[in-house]
Structures are given as structure tokens and as C-alpha cells.
Amino acid sequence: MRKLARIVKVDNIIKHPNADTLDILTIGGWKVVAKSGLHQENDLVIYLEIDSFVPTSLAPFLTKEGKQPKEFEGVKGEVLKSIRLRGQISQGMVIPIRDTPLANTLLELGQDVSDLLGIKKYEKPLPASLAGNIRCHFPSVVPKTDAERIQNLSTELDFWKNTNLKFYVTEKLDGTSFSCMKLHEDIHVCSRNFSLYETAENTYWQIFRKYDLENVLKSVPSNLAIQGEIIGPGIQENQYGLSKQELYVFSVYDIDNNRYYSYQEMESFCNTYNLNRVPLVDILTLDSVTSIDSLLAKAEGTSVVGPKESEREGLVWRGFETPETCFKTISNKWLMKN
């Protein structure tokens, strides 16, 4: 589960080359611009990731003077986004523990303090076609589709480089997450967080019917989940210029054996049932990777999906034989546009 606000150590601080009053802090793989002198190397601080909705009570300075704060789930606050300050990308925010309600709380390095501070992941309001009628929470027997960002995996990256683990790299599509699964005689069609009742107008069920996924699931003897991204009209402003909604599969999960299909198994499965796969970009090891920044640079590029030329959101990296090993690199160029 994503730790939106956590206790971290400041790894490194350098002066901003274009601003005397600003420092650039390194937090794992993240770069954060902060006021000079506010933090020291090795300080324990609270780091808030981008996409965090931060209550005004915690950080009133986030709301620009003369503006009203946003409101999300009944709380007033602001959303942290990637920004550029005097030429330097800054992602997230660092707050001294002493300046928060946790000042007198015993805290540990790496501790998730999101709930303690009221930090939530901001989600755009869903159109009615995506919201659906909730049947139950997403079934826990299938992992949710939310790969960790490489900026939080510097230790793991060193291990993967040293073991020459092979990854297959696919384009990360900017759409809405879709899952369908067979659990014995029961069929679930799901958004990211919920299983939904079938209705004629619901996008997830329309995709389920369009690709005849009930027959696909029933043709396989094991309990199975198919997971992918829906893109097209009515979804994330349809940046790909598609004329109709389409599903691109990024994983197949064998529920009975608690494992993802390998790349070759998924490729064979999708070919058999005429399902789109997310575009393959490369198959490689990480031994030549010099830094997290170099991986983020690889994330930038033009999408190969759809007739409209667009900046791709990023890349998803999965172990070729062990796809449970997974991370994502989001393009900073895409983030700055979105």
C-alpha cells in the first residue's frame, strides 16, 4: 500500500543553482526543493508524496494568497503535484516533525503517518459511467494493480542490478484500471477498489461484454483474474485520440496458485483470446543502469497507442519470469503537463 506520508531521512542537500534561498533535498530517489537552512542532512522528517491531499490545517501555506482551498471528501486542503521551481523539478514536500501534531510522538524511520496526519490520495471525481453500483470491496484474493514508483526502491534497485534480473518493460497507459475474475462459480468485474454490479451503462461491464471475458474466464479451469487498462473516449481526456474504448491487458493472475503469469504465458494467453496487451518497449537487465534519474529519463517518450501523438505517461517494469517483481517509472515530462 502506498505510503503517502512517511518518516524519512534527508539523504543529501545541495544549494539550488538558480536561487540563493532554496535548497534541493534528496529523499531516496525523490528531489524536493525547500527553503534554505530549514533542514540538515540525516534529519528525520516527514515526506509527503505527490498526489497527496494535504489538509489546510497541516499546511495552510499551500493555498495561494487570495485563493480558497480545494475540498476533498469533506476536508479543505491542496493536492501536491510535480512542479518546477527556478528550473528544478520538485516532487512532494518535506515537513519538520516539530511543525506537525506528531512533534511529541515516538516515530520510526519508514513509518507510515498518512492516517495520523489525515493525508489521503487525491482522486478526481469519477463520471457516472465509471462510478458504478458497488457490490463489495475489491476481492482480497487478487493483488491490486498499483506498482511502486522507483524513487521509493533504491535499495531494491541495487539488488536487481547485482542479480541480473531480467525485466520486460511496457508502456504505462493513462486510463482507468480494470479487473475481472472468476472465483469458482462467481464472476467479479472491478474498478481499482470495488467489485461492481452489472448495469448496461457501466464502462467496466461494457468492456467485459465487448471482449467476451466471461467465456474467456470460464474456458480456463483455474480461478483467474485478468487485469488491464481501459482507455478511450470519456477516460482521462482520451489523450490517445481513440474513437472507442479499448482494453489493454497488463497482467493475468492465477488465483489458485497465487502467482502472476510470466511474460510468455501472458503473451500466449492474450494471443489465444485475441486480447490487446500493453505495448512492449524492451526486455533487459538493469546492470547498465547508472541511477534512478537515468531510469526516469527512459520513461519519457511518445506513446505508440492511438492515432493522436501524445507524451507517454511512463513505463512499467516486471520480472520476465517473476512478474510479481514490479515497479513503475513515471515520466517527469508527462507529470509537468498533467
Distance (Å, whole) CA 255 – CA 264: 18
User: Among residues 176, 306, 167, 271, which one has the least CA distance to residue 228?
Assistant: 176
Per-residue pLDDT at 104 exceeds 90: yes
Distance (Å, whole) CA 92 – CA 99: 17
Per-residue pLDDT at 147 exceeds 80: yes
Q: Which residues, 6+ apart, have CB-to-CB distance to 165 below 8 Å?
A: 285, 286, 319, 322, 325
What confidence tens digit (pLDDT) does each residue in 299-313 have? Answer: 999 999 999 999 999
| CA 204 remoteness from chain centre | 20
Task: Provide the angle, in degrees to the nearest 10, between the axes of the packed helices 292-299 and 154-162.
Answer: 90
The domain made up of 128-337 has a fold known as D-amino Acid Aminotransferase; Chain A, domain 1 (3.30.470)
Give 126's pLDDT tier (boundaries 50, 70, 90): confident
Q: Which residues, 6+ apart, have CB-to-CB distance to 328 below 8 Å?
A: 147, 148, 149, 150, 172, 314, 315, 316, 317
Give Cα separations from 186 to 128, 136, 190, 195, 224 (angstroms).
Answer: 25, 13, 13, 12, 11
**What is the predicted pLDDT for the residue at 288?**
86
**What is the predicted pLDDT for the residue at 124?**
87
CB of 6 closer than 8 Å to CB of 109: no
Distance (Å, whole) CA 180 – CA 159: 33
pTM: 0.92
Per-residue pLDDT at 135 exceeds 80: yes
Kindly list the domain boundaries of the chain, sorted by start residue: 5-121, 128-337
